[in-house]
Structure 1
Amino acid sequence: MPVRAALGTTAAAALLLVAAPAAPAAPSGTVTVDATGTITTDGTVTLSGTYRCTGGKGPVFVSSSVGKPSSGLRHGIGGTRAVCDGLEHRWQNTGKPSARSLEAGAASVEATIMELDTSGGLPLPVFHAAHQQDVTLVAG
């Protein structure tokens, strides 16, 4: 192959790489948990915090779970629809664990920003951020 033809092919390939659209940004985010949550006399727990995320294409949620710090047992506490626009938003989840194993006092909370990616047909989870924190559940 002549040198001129080889250079032309290389230059064309380089031009295609430069002109190719950038890959979409990977989902990212941050989530916080407020230092206190509430628990009512009937066992209903309310947790809250803030979140910020980008890159969401499918439905995105802030989910949370709570448990005693010394126990491996965790209870899912609701889910809030999230808006991934890069701005900070508040979230609040309320739920009533089926077992009455929680009471006012120390607790461990985990909050997660999770997207359901439906681009492949079957919804698959994509995690933007997660945060675990010890909190105090107060009677409310």
Structure 2
Amino acid sequence: MRLHQVMATAAGAVLLLLAAPSADALSRPAGSAGPSDTVTVDPTGRLAADGTVTLSGTYRCTGGTGPVFVSSSLSQGQPDRRKGVGGTTAVCDGAQHRWTNTDRTEPGRFKPGAAKVQATLMELRSSGLPLPMFHAAQERDITLVG
């Protein structure tokens, strides 16, 4: 392996580690990241016959020097096997907003019933290299309905 390939692989691994929210961020109540930064997950998600999943909730944030996103992921049965479900650009004006993320999965991967959603309100701050800053996160048990 050439030196530039090794460096690129190492840089990619560091970015993955930096992008993952900490266990502490996920265990905090949605509003504890700051007095006005919150993200919530609705108790019900939608599952279409073609495998399309729709998740939703609310968020509130202020400030932000870079773009802010609401990301979500879904797991069912195997908590260590998650599927990212879309991403929404957030408006950080201090008001509460709705978010909805939709993504198509392979048919049959998810079934109606109990599932777990992780939603994260994350900003990409840049001082050369964009780095993630987590405003809020919530993990919630939901029900997928057809």
Q: Report Cα offsets for 1:8-38 as digits up to 9, x if no partner.
A: xxxxxxxxxxxxxxxxxx8961000000010
CA-based RMSD: 1.8
Specify which of 40, 52, 60 is matched with residue 60 of structure 2.
52
Following superposition, the deviation at residue 45 of structure 1 comes to 0.2
- Could you tell me which runs of 5 or more consecutive residues in structure 1 were left unpaired when the two chains were aligned: 1-25
For 1:40 and 1:49, the matched residues in 2 are separated by 18
Pick aligned residue for 2:82 from 63, 66, 74? 74
Q: Which runs of 4+ in 1 moved over 3 A?
A: none
Alpha-carbon separation, structure 2, partners of 1:28 and 1:122: 27
Q: How far is 1:99 from its partner? A: 7.4
Alpha carbons of structure 1 residues 57 and 27: separation in structure 2 relative to 1, 3 Å: farther
- Distance, in Å, in 2 between the alignment partners of 1:99 and 1:49 is 24
- Any conservation in 1 of the 2:70–2:122 contact (CA below 8 Å)? yes
Report the structure number with the largest CA radius of gyration: 1
- Hey, what's the Cα distance between the residues in 2 that align with 1:71 and 1:137? 15
Q: Flag the 1:63–1:121 CA change in 2: closer, same or farther, 3 A.
A: same
Partner Cα separation in structure 2 for residue 27 and residue 65 of structure 1: 25
Query: Percent of aligned positions with the same letter in both sequences?
Result: 61
Matched letter for residue 80 of structure 2: G
Which ranges of structure 2 fall in alignment gaps of 5 or more residues?
A: 1-33
The match for 2:42 is 34
Within the alignment, does 1:63 sit opposite 2:71 as a pair? yes
Check whether the contact 1:62–1:112 (CA below 8 A) recurs between aligned residues. yes
Within 5 A, what are the aligned runs for 1:1-140? 29-98=37-106, 100-118=108-126, 120-139=127-146
Deviation at 1:128, TM superposition (A): 0.3
SS of the aligned residue for 2:81 comes to coil
TM-score relative to the length of structure 2: 0.72
Q: Give the Å deviation of 1:100.
A: 3.9
Offset of residue 62 of structure 1: 0.3
Please tell me whether the aligned partners of residues 28 and 129 of structure 1 are also in contact (alpha carbons under 8 angstroms): no
Distance in 2 separating the partners of 1:103 and 1:77? 15
